[in-house]
Copies of this chain bind each other. A is one copy, B any other.
Amino acid sequence: MTKGIKIATIGGGSSYTPELVEGFIKRYNEFPVKELWLVDIEEGKEKLEIVGNFTKRMIEKAGLPIEVHLTFDRKAALKGADFVTTQFRVGGLDARAKDERIPVKYGVLGQETNGPGGLFKGLRTIPVILDITKDMEELCPNAWLINFTNPAGMVTEAVLRYSNIKKVVGLCNVPIGMEMGIAKLLDVDHSRVHIDFAGLNHMVYGLDVYLDGVSVKDEVMQKLSDPENSSFVKNIEGIGWEPEFIQSLNALTCPYHMYYYKSKEMLDKTIESSKTEGTRAEVVQQLENDLFELYKDPNLDIKPPQLEERGGAYYSDAAVRLITSIYNDKRDIQPVNTMNRGAIPSIPDESAVEISCVITKDGPIPLAMGDLPVATRGLVQQIKSFERISAEAAVTGDYNKAVLALTINPLTPSDATAKQIVDEMMEAHKEHLPQFQEDKVTVN
A33-41, A76-84, A312-320, A370-378: which one contacts chain B?
A: A370-378
Q: Are A400 and B247 in contact (CB under 8 A)?
A: yes
Residues 383 to 418 of chain A near chain B (Cβ within 8 Å): 383-386, 388-389, 398-401, 403-404, 407-408, 410, 413-418
A50-58, A124-132, A335-343: which one contacts chain B?
A: A335-343
Residues 339 to 397 of chain A near chain B (Cβ within 8 Å): 340-346, 349, 358, 360-362, 365-371, 374-386, 388-389
Chain B contacts for A378, CB-based, 8 A = 378-379, 381-386, 408, 410
Tell me, in angstroms, the Cα distance from A263 to B107 when the chains sit together: 13
For A389, give its contact among B343, B346, B369, B375 (CB under 8 Å): B375
Q: Are A419 and B242 in contact (CB under 8 A)?
A: yes
Q: Are B358 and A419 in contact (CB under 8 A)?
A: no
Query: What residue in chain B is nearest A403 (Cβ atoms)?
Result: B244
A20-28, A168-176, A286-294, A324-332: which one contacts chain B?
A: A324-332
Query: What residue in chain B is nearest A360 (Cβ atoms)?
Result: B213
Tell me, in angstroms, the Cα distance from A328 to B341 when the chains sit together: 29
**A162 adjacent to chain B (CB < 8 Å):** no
Q: Are A370 and B349 in contact (CB under 8 A)?
A: yes
Q: Are A368 and B370 in contact (CB under 8 A)?
A: no
**A212 adjacent to chain B (CB < 8 Å):** yes
**A184 adjacent to chain B (CB < 8 Å):** no
Q: Are B264 and A414 in contact (CB under 8 A)?
A: yes
CB A439 to nearest CB in B, in angstroms, measures: 15
Chain B contacts for A366, CB-based, 8 A = 367-368
Residue from the set A212, A349, A403 with the largest chain B CB neighbour count within 10 Å: A403
Task: Given A329-B213, A389-B374, answer yes or no on A416-B265 (Cβ-Cβ < 8 Å).
Answer: yes
Task: Given A378-B382, A382-B379, A414-B262, answer yes or no on A244-B342 (Cβ-Cβ < 8 Å).
Answer: no
Chain A interface bracket (under 10, 10 to 19, 20 to 34, 35 or more)? 35 or more
Chain B contacts for A214, CB-based, 8 A = 329, 361
Chain B contacts for A418, CB-based, 8 A = 242, 245
Query: What residue in chain B is nearest A368 (Cβ atoms)?
Result: B343
Task: Given A367-B367, A419-B244, answer yes or no on A346-B381 (Cβ-Cβ < 8 Å).
Answer: yes
**A8 adjacent to chain B (CB < 8 Å):** no
Q: Are B361 and A342 in contact (CB under 8 A)?
A: no
**A241 adjacent to chain B (CB < 8 Å):** yes
CB A77 to nearest CB in B, in angstroms, measures: 25
Chain B contacts for A265, CB-based, 8 A = 414, 416
Query: What residue in chain B is nearest A383 (Cβ atoms)?
Result: B378
**A274 adjacent to chain B (CB < 8 Å):** no
Q: Are B361 and A340 in contact (CB under 8 A)?
A: no
Q: Are B385 and A374 in contact (CB under 8 A)?
A: yes
Q: Are A329 and B212 in contact (CB under 8 A)?
A: yes
Q: Are B367 and A415 in contact (CB under 8 A)?
A: no
Q: Are A264 and B413 in contact (CB under 8 A)?
A: yes
For A242, give its contact among B342, B385, B403 (CB under 8 Å): B403
Residue from the set A331, A378, A401 with the largest chain B CB neighbour count within 10 Å: A378
Q: Are A368 and B342 in contact (CB under 8 A)?
A: yes
Query: What residue in chain B is nearest A372 (Cβ atoms)?
Result: B385
**A249 adjacent to chain B (CB < 8 Å):** yes
Query: What residue in chain B is nearest A409 (Cβ atoms)?
Result: B378
CB A237 to nearest CB in B, in angstroms, measures: 16
Chain B contacts for A368, CB-based, 8 A = 340-343, 365-368
Given contacts A212-B329, A382-B382, 13 further A-B contacts (CB under 8 A): A194-B331, A210-B362, A215-B361, A242-B403, A242-B418, A245-B403, A248-B400, A261-B408, A264-B413, A341-B370, A342-B342, A343-B368, A375-B385
Give me 22 A-to-B residue pairs in the complex whose CB atoms sit less than 8 angstroms apart, sorted by A's number: A107-B264, A214-B329, A214-B361, A242-B415, A243-B443, A245-B418, A247-B400, A261-B407, A263-B413, A265-B416, A331-B332, A342-B343, A342-B345, A346-B346, A365-B369, A367-B368, A368-B368, A374-B385, A375-B385, A380-B381, A381-B381, A410-B410
